[in-house]
Structure 1
C-alpha cells in the first residue's frame, strides 16, 4: 500500500469524496461555516492563541511583580509593633517565602512571554511557506480552493 493510499484510507478521499461514504478529517480552524458547504481553507496560528498567551503571560508577570513589591511595604513596622512576640520570626519567614515564590512566577512569565512570541512568529512563517508551496504545487499559482 502506498503512502497516498494509506493516507486516503485513514483520512478519506482527498478529492472531497466524503459523500461517497468515506470519513474525512477536518482541522477545526478550516471547518466549514454552517450552511456554506465548504471550508474556509485558512489555518492561522499567528495573531491568535500564541500571541494572546504571550500577552497574558506579560500581564501576569506585571501583576505578580506589583504584588511582590507590595509585600515588603505592607509589613513595614510589624516588627516594632510586635516586639517580643515569637510570631515575628514566623511572619518574616513567610514573607520571604512569598517574595521568593512570586519572584519565581514573575521570572517564569517573563521567559514564557518571549517563548510564546517566538512560536507565534515561527508558526506565521510556516503559514507563509505552506501557502507558497500550495501555490507552486499545482503550477497554477492559485491558492487552495481558487480556480484559475
Structure 2
C-alpha cells in the first residue's frame, strides 16, 4: 500500500501555522483541531518545520511559561522527515520507528499535499493484514 492510498481515505487537509505565530496560538490550533502536530509553513504549501505537543511540552519544561509568548520557530523541529505520495506504508513505518517521529508531512514536487500520523500508518498496516488474512481463509475454504 502506498501513502497516496492512506491520504485518499483520510483526506489531504493539513493544518499549518506560520513560524512567527506564538506557541500559545499553536496550542489553541492543536486543541481546536484535535491534532498532535502542525506543519510550520508561511504559505501553507512549503514545509519549513513541524511543531508537536512534545516540542511544546519539552520547551515548557526547559524554559517555563514564558515560552507561550515566543514564536513557533523557537520550538519547532526544523529538520522535518517528509515522504512522497508514492512511498510504501511499510517503508514509512520503518522510518517513523527508527527516527522516532509520529507525524510525517507528505510532499509532492516540493508542495505539501497531506500529513500522515503513526496512527494512520498502523491502521493501514492492520488493514493490509486483515485483507491478507481474508484471502488466506478464502483460499483454505475454497481450495
Higher share in strand: 2
Question: TM-score, normalized by length of structure 2?
Answer: 0.28
Higher share in helix: 1
State which structure, 1 or 2, has the greater radius of gyration over its C-alpha atoms. Answer: 1
